[in-house]
Amino acid sequence: MLLGMLLVLSAGLAQAVPAPVWVLSVEGVIGPASADYLVRGLARAAERGAQLVVLRIDTPGGLDSSMRDIIKAILASPVPVASYVAPSGARAASAGTYIIYASHVAAMAPGTNLGAATPVAVGGAPGGPPQQPSPEGEQAQKPDDAMTRKQVNDAAAYIRGLAQLRGRNAEWAEQAVREAVSLAAEEALKLKVIDYLATDLPGLLAQLDGKTLQAAAGPRSLATAGAPLEAHQPDWRTRILSVITNPSVALVLMMIGIYGLIFEFSSPGTGIGGVMGGICLILGLYALQLLPVNYAGVALILLGLVCMAAEAFLPSFGVLGFGGIAAFVFGALILIDTEVPGFGIPLSVILVTAAASAALMLAILGMALRARRQRQVAGDAGLVGSLARVDALENDPRQGWVSLQGERWQVRSGEPLQVGQRVQVLARDGLTLRVSPDREVEP
C-alpha cells in the first residue's frame, strides 16, 4: 500500500511540473551557421517535449536564404515559437523583422527596435534611401531597376503574408520593406507589430501563462509560470560552421589547401602537405557553396589557384604565377554576391593573401634561377672534372680502375698511372673515362 501511495504521489508531482521552455539565441549576422543551429534546435525541442521555444534576438540582418530556412522551420514547428528582442539596446533589423513576423509570439524589451527590412542587395544598406518607382509613362527601364522592383515586391508580399498569418500590422510590415522604416519597442506595441512588451524573460513568460497558441500540430496551451528554462547555446558544429562560412576564412582555407598540395607534389613522401591541403581545400569549397557567391568570381579564383600550382612545376619564369595572382585578386573582389554586412571580404585580406602568393612565386622563381646557374652534377657533365683515385691497374700502366660517384669505372690515361694516384676526368668514351694525373700537390 505504501508503494502505491508513492507511485500516486510521484505521478501527481510529475503532472504539477510544467514542460520546459527552450531558449535559443540569435546573435550577430544570420547566415548558414545560425540557420542550421535554429532549425536543429526547433527539431530537438519538439522531440524532448518543450512547451515553448523562445528565440532571443539581436541581429542586424543576414542572408535571405538562411532567413527563409529559419522561417520555414518556425512555420512547421509543432512547438510554439516566441521571438523576443532583448536585452535593451538589441535590434531585429532586416531578416530579424521577418523572423519576428513569422513567430507565434512577438515580444520586445524596452529600448530595442526592429524594421529596415528592405533587401540589402537591391536596396542599399538598411536604413538607406528606398528605391523610388519610375514614372508610369516611362517606357524604358534599366535591367537593374526592373530586378530591384521584382525583389522588393517579392519581399513585401512575403512579409505581408506572414503578417496576415499571425494577425499583425501588415501595412507597416510592407512599409518596412519598401521604405526601410524602423520602430522602437513601445511604438511597435501600439501599432500591433508585436504582441508583448517585457523587461526580461520571466516577465514575458508570466504574460504568456495560460495562453493558447495555434502551432503546426494544433492548439497548444501554455503553462509558463514557473516553467524550467533550458538555454541551449550553439554547439561545436555550429561554431565551426560559423567560422568556415566567413568568406575571408573560406578564401584563406582555399589558399592554404593549394599551397599544401603544391608542397606535397614538389616533395612527396611526408603526406602532411597533401592531407592538410586536401582538408583545407574541401572545407573552403564547402563553405563557398553555402554562401551567395558569384560564379565568375569562383571561376577566376580556381583559375588563379591552378596557375599558381602550375608555376611550381612548369618553367614559365613567373608568367603563370603572377597571372594566377591577378586572376585570384579579381575573383576575390567579385566573389560574394551580396552587400549584407558581415559577408564581404575585406580588401586588406585580399591584398595580404595576394602578397603572400607573390612572395611564394618570387621564392620559386629565385630557386629556379639559382638552379639554372648551378653546374650540372648528373650525366657526362657531372663526371667531367671529377677527381678520383686509382684503385687498380691493368697490364698496361696507362689503364686502370677508379671508384667514382658510387660506380666503378675503367680509365685510360696518356701517361703511366700508379695505384692510389689522384686523377682528373677529362671525358667519357662509352664505358671508359679518359683521365690525366692531377698535378696539384696534395696536403
pLDDT tens, 20-37?
999 999 998 898 999 999
Which of 60-64, 307-311, 435-439 holds the top average pLDDT?
60-64
Query: Residue 375 gets which letter from DSSP?
Result: P
Query: Residue 200 gets which letter from DSSP?
Result: S
More confident residue, 144 or 74: 74
Region class of 274: left (phi > 0), else alpha (psi between -120 and 50), else beta? alpha
pLDDT of residue 254: 86
Q: Do domains 16-130+146-237 and 379-437 have the same CATH topology?
A: no
* Angle between helix 170-178 and helix 143-166 axes, rounded to 10 deg: 160
Rg of the Cα atoms in the chain: 37
pLDDT tens, 76-116?
999 999 999 999 999 999 999 999 999 999 999 999 999 98
pLDDT of residue 271: 77
pLDDT of residue 162: 94
More confident residue, 431 or 161: 161
More confident residue, 355 or 98: 98
- Give phi and psi for 356, each to the nearest 5: -65, -40
Confidence of residue 441 (pLDDT cuts 50, 70, 90): very low
- Separation between Cα atoms, residue 290 and residue 63, nearest integer Å: 11
Domains of the chain, by residue range, sit at 16-130+146-237, 245-373, 379-437
pLDDT of residue 44: 95
- Separation between Cα atoms, residue 372 and residue 386, nearest integer Å: 20
Lowest mean pLDDT among 144-148, 182-186, 404-408: 144-148
Lowest mean pLDDT among 71-75, 127-131, 270-274, 298-302: 127-131
pLDDT of residue 381: 61
Q: Which of 52, 428, 442 is nearest to 210 (CA)?
A: 52
Q: Which CATH architecture has domain 16-130+146-237?
A: Alpha-Beta Complex (3.90)
* Structural class in CATH, domain 379-437: mainly beta
- Provide the grid cell at 46: 519538439
Model pTM?
0.71
More confident residue, 389 or 126: 389
Confidence of residue 18 (pLDDT cuts 50, 70, 90): confident
- Separation between Cα atoms, residue 274 and residue 56, nearest integer Å: 43
CA dist 311 to 3, 100, 285, 294, Å?
82, 53, 22, 26
* Predicted confidence (pLDDT) at residue 402 exceeds the cutoff of 60: yes
The fraction of the chain above a pLDDT of 70, given in percent, is: 83
pLDDT tens, 410-433?
888 878 888 888 888 888 887 788
- Provide the grid cell at 406: 658510387
- Give phi and psi for 249, each to the nearest 5: -65, -40
